Amino acid sequence: MTNAYDAQQSRGLLPAWGYLLGIGVVAYGIVPLLASDYVYDAILAPFLALSLAAVGLNLLTGYAGQVSLGSAAFMAVGAFAAYNFNLRIDGLPFILSVLFAGLTAAGFGVVFGLPSLRLKGFYLALSTLAAQFFVEWALTKFDWFSNYNSSGVIDAPPIVIFGVPFSGPSGRYYFALTVVLLLSAFAARLVNTQTGRNFIAVRDNETAARIIGVPVFKTKLLAAAVSSFIIGIAGILWAFAYLRTVEPHGFNLDRSFEILFIIIIGGLATLRGAFLGAALIVVLPLVLSRIGTLLLGGYFNSGVLDMSQRILIGALIIVFLIVEPDGLAALWIRARNRFFGALTSRRPAREVTA
Amino acid sequence: MERHRKKTSFLSGLAASLTLFAGALTTSASADEQFFPLQSYRVGPYAAGGTGFFGGTIDYFNLINSRDGGVNGIKLTWDECETQYEVERGVECYERLKSHANIAAWNPLSVGIAYAMIDRITQDKVPLITINHGRTDSTDGRVFPYVFPLLLNPYSETSGIINYIAAKEGGEANLKGKKIVVLYHGSPYGKETIPIYELLSKKLGFTVQQIEVPHPGNEQQAQWLTIRQAKPDYVVLRGWGVMNPVALKTAQKTGFPADHIIGNVWSNSEEDVIPAGDAAVGYTAITTQASGAEYPVLQEIVKTLYDSGKGNLEDKKRIGSVYHNLGIVNGILNVEAVRIAQEKFGKRTLTGDEVRWGFEHLHLDEKRVADLGAKGLFHSINVTWDNHEGDGRVTFQQWDGKKWKVVSDWIAPDWKLLRPIIEKSSEAYAKEKGLKIRSAGDADKVTSIDVKGESTKN
């Protein structure tokens, strides 16, 4: 597995906190001035949830090298656990339901991470499929999870934190944004610690890592736990802040693949890539569908338009991966280096292939 | 560097498309029109249902526009947005289309999407139509003012099917000791009737076994093996899309007779039986609307639209098929609700809430149905403020290998039995959500200004 740039490299002109501050100002200050309900509910909400899921998967797959096809299952565990904690423990603050749900997902992650101690590559990917099918099956089979709702679809509870309701499209956006920023900051910090370096060491060469004293088993399980925790919380955002209904089939294998594609397209082992990839996967189909309807809506029905979009998106992804196999994050860095060419010439971009 | 130039052009292309995208965000609206956002699906595993149903509804809207110049001069307009029957896409389509002015009603034709929309459209005060499907307890208009499972909710469908089986067996008393297997689609739609089958089996003394087929249902060996071991007297097929022909073919392979399989209202189309070939001969299914193109309204659609190439169906052979006719009936109900509301509020563009009032007074008796050219196509409907289903009648049709033959009268489901169960469920929902139960007086209060702009409050 290759990563585009090592973690230090991807830092640019400003210190990390400078970027975070900039993102914060734009996300909290400027976006709300421009966004309509449509932008909040149809673009930003799924974007934030999928970005966070991709951040989580990137820790496991991009940094620690463990391929997983079970991301959607952990999202489902998070969403259903949060629903049930909230429903069944009277007076439990919402934020604690979220936290416990994340821990539940982390627990699942560890259980289904156990095979990674013995399996690698494709074999591991297949065993994570078990998580995917098991969770979907269990949530459908046992009605307790959906509180015996006859059709198995449950309504998301209102989001209230410390007495402050986060309602309406902008309220849900602020909630999702805060969660995503906090967890992404945590992930960004984590990958620069000894633990993060252990992840990379295990990914790059397990035997070598063991020889230099990296606790391989512990590292793998830790990666699974942290990753599932974050993905579980992403599931809560998906269900509570975006769709506002919770349904097991919304977390099917397609969703797992979607998240995997996001990190491949965005760039493995870069947190920025998770966001860029999610933006592409969420926004591009919408842009194409809008343009298609606008330009050709009179000539073709929605089915033909939808088919052509799929072809176009598929072709774009193939072209893109050929032109830039290191993902959007690498593209971003290269574009930035060109833009600030003079400034960055002091430290030339050095491609690290691991 | 060559590679870099490529990147730049890619980026500028992206920028250009974003600009276009921003332009596309602004939608135009004109007065004197009533807009129907159609969350349709023409691709994916359920495309047969989607193209037929939305084709029928659009055909009827087109007929009203070109024959009558709209409803009392108000043109009907619509936009389609492809959902592929997926909830996320349905929600995106809702968000995309809801800013359009003059929305009359939503018709997503998907239980999952409808569930996700209930809170949103209640906020917007725009009706949500789930004809022949949907959330059963939304029949109770006291709790769900804006949701309309018109004609047949899932419980009524269940009751109709059990009544039909009872009639075949020579009366309800003979159901005792019989065994019925329900093979249901693994989706919110499919699961909706689990409790009512359990309840009816206890009440009438038959045993019921309910088996799920995971979406989309193109592999059913295991389920039919279980059925073979259970040796039921009847199998109720609560399928959708590709699951239905696969079920019929697998039944034939395992030796279960087709004439003891009873299809539900979403397993009753030509698209369900034709791919199954001779495995489907003798298969019987419930329906709320007859198939065939001999009804006057269909003749007019053929004459006005298809003869001049304006029809919505690509394959003319599907004119008068079950889904197409259901779409036409859906069109009739939507249009008549607008017409009835116009009589009350004036012949102008109405708000969603005014159209809601129209649906709550949607009373089409057999005579009115005949005037609309739909005599025999469907029976009648009588929606009130607290009964959002409207006492739809059902009939049964049997597939003879070429077409559906009606094999029963119009049957009424056992509404008296179902209503208390529905009210129990809807009242529990109201309690959970902290909703006030509406009275007849509340139902008559109608908002005449567009409230969508305020939706940020939620």
Residue from the list A153, A169, A307 with its beta carbon closest to the beta carbon of B456: A169
Residue from the list B24, B135, B433 with its beta carbon closest to the beta carbon of A151: B135
Peptide bond into B216 cis (omega under 30): yes
Domains of chain A, residue spans:
4-251
Burial readout A308-325 (b: 16 or more C-beta within 10 A, e: otherwise): ebeeeeeeebeebeeebe
Residue from the list A168, A286, A338 with its beta carbon closest to the beta carbon of B4: A338
Whole-angstrom distance, CA of residue B102 vs CA of residue A319 = 43
Q: How far is CA B202 from CA A142, A328, B46, B197, in A?
A: 22, 60, 34, 9
Q: What's the pLDDT band for A14 if we cut at 50, 70, 90?
A: low
A contacts of B192 (beta carbons < 8 Å): 150-151
Domains of chain B, residue spans:
12-152+291-382+421-457, 170-287+396-410
What pLDDT score was predicted for residue A311? 86
Higher pLDDT, B58 or A315: B58
What pLDDT score was predicted for residue A2? 43
Residue A11 has pLDDT above 70, yes or no: no
Find out if CATH 3.40.50.2300 is the number for domain B170-287+396-410. yes
Percent of chain A's residues with pLDDT above 70: 90
Question: What's the predicted TM-score (pTM) here?
Answer: 0.83
Q: Which uninterrupted H or E stretch holds B208?
A: strand B207-214
CB B179: neighbour CB atoms within 10 A?
Answer: 15
Residue from the list A42, A287, A331 with its beta carbon closest to the beta carbon of B96: A42
What pLDDT score was predicted for residue B320? 94
- Each residue's pLDDT tens digit, A182-225: 999 999 999 999 999 999 999 999 999 999 999 999 999 999 99
What pLDDT score was predicted for residue A15? 62
Cβ within 8 Å, pair B116-A303: no
Whole-angstrom distance, CA of residue B454 vs CA of residue B118 = 17
Q: How many CB pairs lie under 8 A apart between chains A and B?
A: 134
Mutation pick from A135, A170, A173, A245 vs chain B, by most beta carbons of B within 10 Å, is A245
What pLDDT score was predicted for residue B273? 95
Residue A3: what residue type?
A: N
Lowest mean pLDDT among A8-22, A295-309, A330-344, B180-194: A8-22
Residues in chain B, pLDDT under 70: 1-31, 450-458
Q: What is the ipTM of this complex?
A: 0.78
Mutation pick from B7, B184, B418 vs chain A, by most beta carbons of A within 10 Å, is B7
Mean pLDDT, residues A304-318: 81
To the nearest whole angstrom, how far is the Cα of B185 from the nearest Cα of chain A? Answer: 11
Cβ within 8 Å, pair B458-A167: yes
Could you tell me where the DSSP H helices lie in B170-314?
Answer: 188-191, 194-204, 221-230, 243-254, 270-273, 296-304
What pLDDT score was predicted for residue A8? 42
Interface of A to B at Cβ within 8 Å reads 36-38, 41-42, 46, 140, 150-153, 155, 167-171, 242-245, 247, 249-250, 286-287, 289-291, 293-294, 297, 301-307, 323-324, 331, 334-335, 338
B contacts of A151 (beta carbons < 8 Å): 111, 115, 135, 188-189, 191-192
What pLDDT score was predicted for residue B1? 38
Higher pLDDT, A36 or B27: A36
What pLDDT score was predicted for residue A286? 83
B contacts of A265 (beta carbons < 8 Å): none
Record: fold of A4-251: ABC transporter involved in vitamin B12 uptake, BtuC (1.10.3470)
Find out if CATH 3.60.21.10 is the number for domain B12-152+291-382+421-457. no
Residue A297 has pLDDT above 70, yes or no: no
Whole-angstrom distance, CA of residue A111 vs CA of residue A9 = 34
